Chains A and B, each alone.
Chain A
Amino acid sequence: MNAVFVLILGFIVAFIGYRVYAKYVDTKIMKADPKKATPAKMYMDGVDFMPTSKNILFGYQFKSIAGAAPVIGPIIAIQWGWLPAMLWILAGTFFIGWVQDYSSAMIAMRKDGASLGGLSHKLISPKARIILLSFLYFYLLLIAGAFGNVVVSTAIGLKAAPMAWLFMTIGGILAGQMIYRWKRDIVLTTVVTVVIALFGIWLGTIAPSNKIIGDALANSRWVWAIAAFVFCYFAAVLPIWRFALPINYVASYIVFLGLLFGIIGVFVLHPNFTLPAYTGFSIRIGPIWPIMFVTIACGAISGWHSLVSTSGTARQLEYETDARPVGGGVMFVEMMLAVFALVIAGTIYASSAEYGAAIAKGPGGVFAAGVSKFLGALGLPADTGRSYGSVMMIVLAVTIMQLVIRFMRIATSELLSDVSPVFRNVHIGTIIASILGMILVLTGWWQYLWVLFGGANQLMASLALMLVTAYLMSEGRPAAYAFYPMIFMFVTTVAALLYTSYNLLAKVFTGAVKGEALVGNTLMGFVGFFLVIAAIILAVEGVRAFNRYRAVQAQPAPAKA
């Protein structure tokens, strides 16, 4: 099948989903009202609550949700064949993905801009909030581990990447200095720092890491894991304007330009899929159900989005009717990003064996090869294109990682400061989070780590859908559009986590793994089981809340005087 046909199919699904299904839910079920005052207007404090244009929020939401996951998921999932992967991306987004993003923003708006923790407290129970927050810590640990692994494998597999990453960091730090300290013009700052980042991408091709630090260090997982977590350490402890934000700022231009020209390149080359449409029900990491459904997380449905929708976007929406383009519309754009990643993986290799050899080294190499090919169609040399793709992959992963480590530092302080005041120290919290992340990166097999991350991510999404269902039931509105996706996601993700955790721990208890793998399997296995137990407790609390709301709705209305 031709890749352009797949892209057009994606556009059609997005159009129908947004214009028909999302519009129906928005007008008939949620009954969005542009005249209703939103929390951004009611509680405007000039900081968190601030009415903001929907176009700005569209960009903000896209930047916040589109990390490495929608790209990596399809690249791994194509091992089952491109057809099931494509069907899940399209159907997952159409029936579940946008529903979660949009509805979580809507209910946060209707509940005075409450965060996910606050919503679970109000709609489910006080216990639900505590469990949700501890669930979050381990979920974020899996993100740090999975994305850290991507950074390490990309830095080892593509020797141009470290130099490009270094120059991106230098450009970012300079951008922070120019904007906030030297008060330079934003256009000048942008041009200078983006050119520095682009120079680093080119320099990487003539000064690869193995020529500078030698083969042994350039191929060491320890070196790049330490580099990644030192990067995150600075992002977590330095003022956010000095390091994390300006690097994200410069990186956003690099990623945005790469995606834009990459998609144009697909239309120019319009290649055919060369990998098989379907390879079989079961592969090394597991069966198609439930494992493929959690492997493609962000491109179909992701719990991360509900965190952004509730704590960030819902507090800035100026009108209730803006939730559909911002919450729902952006999810359809991310679906297109996942389809683009699928096209990359499915069209650039001549055979399954060639793809298998490439994916064994990590998804970064596959992505970079695709970016190189499609940017090459517009005249960019192959080496520079590969360097560009590799830094895109690193940037997409590391920008989420640094946010996660920063958050884990705050979580450590909140959860453990009563045990000992030492946990309030920013360095201690960051070091704990970094060490845990590094253990996962250095000891866990990346595909299992990815499946666990995807499972936790989508379990988070099913919990967000549980909150949406509880809200709809409490209001006496039809809840089926959120209830059935919630059931499907809950069963699928619990099955995936149990399957993977059981496999990991079975290897530990039968003595099949030793050394590093023993540590990695044990840690990943227990984290997976913990997440399942936390989710089951939350589900029990959720069912109790549903029964409560049903009982209230079943009561006869009080007689009018």
Chain B
Amino acid sequence: MAKEEKKKGGFFKAVQEFVYGVAAHDSARFALKTRASMEHLFILITMGDMLGVPILPPYYSLRLLPYVVPQISTWKRRMLREKDLTDALA
């Protein structure tokens, strides 16, 4: 019985995920891409402080710094990855 219920839940979950994939996954990815662009901007603003060279008035960029630091590793991956035109398609 429990196994059957699990199977049922599994099937409905699969259908739910499929519908999400068809209808909304692309939107979610583009929303994430937009957020990533904003993060790049924040990192750019605080870059000077990370390197010890204040570019903006330090107060504001220092306030932003704690929010940016956890993103640095993924930012590096995105920035250093080789890209070409076909990246824009998907």
Interface residues of A (CB under 8 A from B): 43-50, 52-53, 55-64, 114-118, 129, 133, 136, 179-180, 186, 190, 239-241, 245-246, 248-249, 252-253, 256, 307-308, 310-313, 403, 406-407, 410-411, 414
Tell whether A62 pairs with B22 under 8 Å between CB atoms, given A47-B32, A53-B17, A241-B31: yes
Contacts of B33 in A (CB 8 A): 47-48
Q: Which residues of B contact A57 (CB under 8 A)?
A: 21, 25
Which residues of chain B (30-63) have a CB below 8 Å from chain A?
A: 30-36
Residue with the greatest number of chain A CB neighbours at <10 A, chosen from B19, B30, B87: B87
Q: List 20 A-B contacts (CB under 8 A).
A: A46-B36, A47-B29, A47-B32, A47-B33, A48-B81, A56-B18, A58-B21, A59-B19, A59-B20, A59-B25, A60-B25, A61-B21, A63-B22, A64-B26, A186-B24, A240-B30, A308-B90, A311-B89, A406-B88, A410-B85
Q: Which of chain A's residues has its CB closest to B76's CB?
A: A45
- Assess whether A252 is in contact with B22, with CB atoms less than 8 Å apart: yes
**Taking each of B22, B82, B86, B90, which has the highest tally of chain A beta carbons within 10 Å of its own beta carbon?**
B86
Query: Can you list the 10 inter-chain pairs with the closest CB atoms, starting with the nearest?
Result: A59-B21, A312-B90, A55-B17, A117-B84, A59-B22, A56-B21, A311-B90, A115-B86, A45-B74, A59-B18
Known: A44-B74, A241-B31, A245-B26. A63 touches B21 (CB 8 A): yes
List of B residues within 8 angstroms of A308 by Cβ: 89-90
The verdict on A410 contacting B21 (CB below 8 Å), with A46-B32, A47-B78 known, is: no
Q: How far is the CB of A48 from chain B (nearest CB, A)?
A: 7
Residues of A within 8 A of B24 (CB): 186, 249
The reply on B2 being an interface residue by CB < 8 A is no
Let me know if A249 and B27 touch, CB within 8 A: yes
> Once bound together, how far apart are the Cα atoms of A308 and B21, in whole Å?
14
Bound Cα distance from A50 to B29, whole angstroms: 10
Report chain A residues within 8 Å CB of B77.
43, 45, 49
Let me know if A311 and B86 touch, CB within 8 A. yes
| B-side contacts of A307, CB under 8 Å | 86, 89-90
Contacting residue for A133 out of B22, B27, B84, CB 8 A? B84
Tell me whether B69 is interfacial, beta carbon within 8 Å: no
Chain A residues with CB under 8 A of B82: 114, 118
With contacts A117-B84, A307-B89, A308-B89 taken as known, whether A252 is within 8 angstroms of B23 at the C-beta atoms is: yes
B14, B32, B36, B84: the one within 8 Å of A55 (CB): B14
Assess the B22–A311 pair: CB atoms within 8 A.
no
A133 to B89, CA, bound (A): 12
CA distance A61 to B25 in the complex (A): 10
Question: Nearest residue in B to A252 (C-beta to C-beta)?
Answer: B23
Across-interface contacts of B26 in A (CB, < 8 A): 60, 63-64, 245, 248
Give Cα A355 to B20, complex, Å: 38
Say which residue of A115, A246, A407 sits within 8 Å of B27 (CB atoms).
A246
State whether A407 touches B84 (Cβ < 8 A).
Answer: no
A55 lies within 8 A of B86 (CB): no
Among B22, B85, B90, contact of A411 (Cβ-Cβ < 8 Å): B85
- 11 new A-B contacts, CB < 8 A, other than A46-B74, A115-B87, A312-B90, are A49-B77, A55-B13, A58-B18, A59-B17, A59-B23, A60-B21, A117-B84, A136-B86, A249-B23, A252-B22, A311-B90
Alpha-carbon gap, A311 to B33, bound state (A): 14
Which residues of B sit under 8 angstroms from A403, Cβ to Cβ? 89
The answer on a CB contact under 8 Å between B81 and A43 is yes
Per the bound structure, the CA–CA distance linking A186 and B27 in Å amounts to 12
Contacts of A60 in B (CB 8 A): 21-22, 25-26
Whole-angstrom distance between the alpha carbons of A43 and B90 in the complex? 17
CB distance from B86 to the nearest CB of A (A): 4
Look across to chain B and name the residue whose beta carbon is closest to the beta carbon of A129. B84
User: Which residues of A are found within 8 Å of B13, using beta-carbon distances?
Assistant: 55
Among residues of B, the one whose C-beta sits closest to the C-beta of A304 is B89
* B residues in contact with A311, CB < 8 Å: 86-87, 89-90
Tell me if B23 and A414 are in contact (CB < 8 A).
no
Which residues of the partner chain A approach B35 to less than 8 Å between Cβ atoms?
Answer: 47
- Please report the C-alpha to C-alpha distance between residue A52 and residue B29 in the assembled complex, in whole angstroms: 11
Give complex CA distance A58, B23 in Å.
12
> Which residues on A sit within 8 Å (CB–CB) of B31?
180, 241
Shortest distance between the CB of A96 and any CB in chain B (Å): 21
Query: Which one, A56, A239, A245, contacts B20 given CB within 8 A?
Result: A56
From residue A55, how far is it (CB to closest CB) to chain B in Å?
Answer: 4
What are the residues of chain B within 8 A of A118 when measuring CB–CB? 82, 84
Q: Give Cα A549–Cα B24 distance, bound, in whole angstroms.
A: 42
Most buried by A among B17, B18, B21, B77: B21
Closest to A244 in B: B30
- How many angstroms from the CA of A46 to the CA of B29 in the assembled complex? 9
Query: What residues of chain A lie closer than 8 Å to B84, measured between beta carbons?
Result: 115, 117-118, 129, 133
In the assembled complex, the CB of A513 is this many whole angstroms from the nearest CB of chain B, namely 34
- Judge whether A45 and B18 touch: CB under 8 Å: no
CA distance A77 to B34 in the complex (A): 42
Interface membership of chain B positions 1-25, coded 1 if the CB is closer than 8 angstroms to chain A and 0 otherwise:
0000000000001100111111111
B83, closest chain A residue (CB): A115
Contacts known (A241-B30, A245-B30, A249-B27); A407 close to B89, Cβ less than 8 A = yes
B17 touches A310 (CB 8 A): no
Closest A residue to B20 using CB positions: A56
Given the complex, which residues of B lie within 8 Å of A43, measured CB to CB?
77, 81
Task: Indicate if the CB atoms of B85 and A117 lie closer than 8 Å.
Answer: yes
Q: Select from chain A the residue with minimum beta-carbon distance to B82.
A: A118
B22 contacts A256, CB within 8 Å?
yes
What chain B residues lie within 8 Å of A115 (beta carbons)? 83-84, 86-87
- Chain A residue at minimum C-beta to C-beta distance from B18: A59
Contacts of A55 in B (CB 8 A): 13-14, 17-18, 21
